[in-house]
Structure 1
């Protein structure tokens, strides 16, 4: 069901339209009311309003101004303006400011319902178009190359996906059916003069190389192109026919090498530049994607270095300086420990550290260098978090920081595990306390602003601008911290201030109304009577009359 907001400074008009018009008959499930454009903006920040029905002539911010604010801040909310002035200039300006329709007062209920229903149906049709499967698929197809490349980059950086989720994602992106299948990687390092290209030219170049590779390797191989964090082009290749006829794997390898050489030559001839190309060993997707990729990078570093325009097929494992030594892989998966800390994803951090220590246990709990690797990585992530927040790690970590300086945590597996758990608990506690303190400061600033500007604009937008935050965030944080809507607080402060002035000053009713932000005395009188059961004059007479 849709939501409607009625805005008019005349209380009786708002009440009649809200309570006597059968809105439910056209699909309106909830009706909100406001007696000023400022109050309307506060309600819009708190509720998913579909249509605003507003008078044009209102004190302070007019209906035309409100329509303009709607267009800027709530582009999917439609505005219908009401006016008692049958002047073409109003209608013309209303349409310029993005209103959905314009009606002249007095308006019959049937005409009003028909207009709102018509606007509502148009809005629903727009959303249907946005959510249509055809449009979604068209958008997906337009962005397929980028989405495919992003997924491969994430996998090469160690992001973990549930098996079924990865299969579904790859199917959606129309990628080769690779699960459980053998694959090889083609890694392309671009050389002179390509590194000097600007970002736009480099993107076009990468697109051209991907098209060349597709043309040369098809139909014998299916390709999945991407780009890694080092700027190398990476292609996942799967043989279209696993048997590959006579010669089997040897013939497949020769074909790959011949085609890779053709790609290298085509880039030199048509793109006027050089590249180094590596063909990886074979692996099974997805379990061996990361090891095969790391193995290929190691071969690039060890066997090629900075030498340009070479072609290498990587056979077996890369030559490691110390056989059997490997990094703690889960330390470097995406999202990284630093990213998890910055996002405050504490449960994900707990799960990640459990896997890190399980991996460390498998490698050997007495491996001093692996203990150091974990210790330095965790320390670095924690220090970066503290400094990004303008704090010292010693302030956030307390006694845990002293252990860091002494180096005791990495002396044994259990000491490191306990130290890491203690550090994360302290960081989480500090982060939560900091967030709570920050929210308290925001509430104090809000109260200060309202009390000092009660006679002026104390709308949600004005308050949000004062504390340099988004109106929706301010509204939600205020409700979270105080249990009260911000608009209710402003209303309560106004009524309390009015009662105080009525009893402790000789000011006239219209002067008190202006002091608390009401431009029209009769609007103040209606609101005050609704709040206390008495008009301002009755309230003053009752409490000041001699006993």
Structure 2
């Protein structure tokens, strides 16, 4: 989904373009409007825009000044100027920029739609740029890159002493970060790797993803990236040198949040992989980076809905539920047996089929053992039971599980007649945990959607309060992920829900003859009666006045 902003100081023009562009059936656009350059700049500080359609002559910040702001905040944004016949020389210098075009105001809506469609096609082509893939295949990791990876992973895994984190070490390794400043942590996971286990394949794909991410992030920040043992991508980020700390971090956070969705789209188009991201909501000192990273790992596993392609931008969403886990620490017990380690990760990551397969392998290993006192089998049984118990304690599931299966058997293999029965019991517990996990994901998703629906119904009169950006801020979600989640849960688009809610309230208000049509339009969030009438006719095949007459006649 691409984000488009209409900017014009004449409200009737801005409203008309807004209504036309947001209802294009062949383009999935998230459309916003601003009545001044100043209002547009404030929106740029909140979120990324992919296309800006703006008048060139406006009081205050005019179109050319707005172009400078756009190039500073979102350099890849396409800009379309609306101009009069006598203004071409005025914008001649502006259209020398890449991604800038113009339209005459007299050309009509069809021409506007045509130029917007062309801009969307250009963005899609850029996202599919195969030159990045070619670079990924031609370049190999250098020794310095390997040392950088080991150093960063050593910091995040608490394998390095705090004294080893200094500017001399960073400079010697070629890491462009500053030891005296905090860092922002971004965690990424390739969801589509679950069924692609070839090491060479993963390595090639991860390298391509890192190149793509660096292209988007490095324009406004200093960054170093690494990959951990689970093939998760990790970025440590700082503002560019010379930026004031407070302003620098604010700009970096806004820029990173805005570009994560583009990185997802570029990776999907160029390398064919689906990524989820968790971005920390504040910088952290090097000393506490490992603790913060552990929390981000837990947040990555805290899926809502299906979780694929997730963008989680703020810990506030689940801070209450995570408080106990953060207090106790996010460290997990480690097991020597590789399959037990794998089991734990598969349970945490929601990989049900892979988990069941691994657990079956453990069961088969000891199926033929006669003695219930066979130590290796006992060790594996206890280890799996501990994996389950740790997971249940972390997510407060002990009482729920105890009500469905005998918890006393979990750490008592002697309660079973055979190892076949014992591992069958563990399989039963595992199936229950995944069922509870699925129910909990659905509950979280439903809770988020209920918040959104309630807010929409209470703020139909205020378009700013029901914009996708505002709704995303309300539940700390990336706007596009929220849109996909809403469709996943309700089976209708968010824009369709808003339109339906507006029409339902409008029909209710039209039943009262004392309320004027213009007042109804304002109460359901349309700036003018003209825009309201256009949308009402499109939805019900009649004008508001015709509907009112019909209702009153009955």
TM normalised by structure 2 equals 0.53
Structure 1 distance, partners of 2:443, 2:140, is: 43
Structure 1 position 535 matched with structure 2 position 515: no
Q: Does 1:416 align with 2:389?
A: no
Aligned-pair CA distance for 1:366: 4.8
Q: Relative to structure 1, is the Cα distance of residues 201 and 66 closer, same or farther in structure 2, using a 3 angstrom cutoff?
A: closer
| CA deviation after TM superposition for structure 1 residue 378, in Å | 1.4
Query: Match of 2:64?
Result: 91
Q: Deviations over 1:456-493 (max 9, x none)?
A: 22122222332333322322222122211111111011
1:425 maps to 2:424: no
CA distance in 2, matches of 1:129, 1:439: 36
Work out whether 1:197 is the aligned partner of 2:163: yes
**Judging changes above 3 Å, is the alpha-carbon distance between structure 1 residues 393 and 526 closer, same or farther for their aligned structure 2 residues?**
same
CA contact (8 A) 2:511 2:548 kept: yes
Structure 2 gaps, min length 5: 72-76, 84-103, 175-226, 230-334
Return the offset for 1:541: 1.9
Contact 1:6 1:54 in 2 (8 A): yes
Alignment-derived partner of residue 435 in structure 1: 441
User: TM (normalized to structure 1)?
Assistant: 0.53
- Give, in angstroms, the shift of residue 426 of structure 1: 0.6
CA distance in 2, matches of 1:96, 1:504: 47
Q: What does residue 471 of structure 1 align with?
A: 479
RMSD: 5.0
User: Structure 1 stretch 478-487 or stretch 6-15: which is displaced more?
Assistant: 6-15
The question of whether the paired residues in 1 share the 8 Å contact of 2:5 and 2:53 is answered with: no
User: Residue 506 of structure 1 aligns to a residue in which SS?
Assistant: coil
Pairing 1:386–2:361 present: no
Take 2:126 and 2:480, find their aligned partners in 1: how far apart are those partners? 27
* Equivalent pairs, count: 362
The within-5 A match list for 1:148-227 is: 197-200=163-166
| Alpha-carbon separation, structure 2, partners of 1:516 and 1:368 | 72
The question of whether the paired residues in 2 share the 8 Å contact of 1:478 and 1:484 is answered with yes
The offset of 1:513, in angstroms, is 1.2
Q: 1:514 to 1:459 in 2, by over 3 A?
A: same
Distance 1:508 1:139, change over 3 A: farther
SS at match of 1:128: coil
Q: Is 2:337 aligned against 1:371?
A: no
Give 1:518's match in structure 2, choosing from 494, 507, 526: 526
Matched with 1:297 is none
Residues 83 and 511 from structure 1, CA distance in 2 versus in 1: closer, same or farther, beyond 3 angstroms?
Answer: farther
Deviation at 1:511, TM superposition (A): 1.2
Match of 1:35 in 2: 19
Q: Do the aligned residues in 1 keep the contact of 2:38 with 2:61 (CA within 8 Å)? A: no
Q: Name the counterpart of 1:346.
A: 352
Partner of 2:401: 396
Among 428, 447, 452, the alignment partner of 1:446 is 452
- Distance of 1:386 and 1:515 partners within structure 2: 48
Q: 1:479, 1:505 → 2: CA distance? A: 36
Aligned to 1:315: none
Counterpart residue number, 1:250: none
Structure 1 stretch displaced more, 517-526 or 119-128: 119-128
Write the distance in 2 (CA, Å) between the matches of 1:149 and 1:388. 30
Asked if the contact 1:382–1:393 (Cα under 8 Å) also holds between the matched residues in 2, the reply is no
Post-superposition offset of 1:443:
2.7
Equivalent residues of 1:513, 1:524 under 8 A apart: yes
1:302-341 residue pairs with structure 2 within 5 A?
329-333=337-341, 336-341=342-347
Check conservation: 1:53, 1:81, Cα contact below 8 A. Answer: no
Larger Rg: 1
Cα distance change, pair 394–4 in 1 and its aligned pair in 2 (3 A): closer
CA deviation after TM superposition for structure 1 residue 146, in Å: 5.0
The equivalent of 1:273 in structure 2 is none
Cα 1:88–1:338 change in 2 (3 A) is closer
Deviation, 1:197, is 3.4
Q: Is this contact kept in 2: 1:328–1:360, CA < 8 A?
A: no
Q: Post-superposition shift, 1:543?
A: 1.8
Contact 1:331/1:374 (CA < 8 Å) preserved in 2?
Answer: no
CA deviation profile, 1:50-89 (whole Å, cap 9, x unmatched): xx998764xxxx67755764686446x3434345759983
The answer to whether structure 1 residue 103 and structure 2 residue 108 are counterparts is: no
Q: How far did 1:36 drift? A: 8.6
- Contact kept? 1:375, 1:410, Cα under 8 Å: no
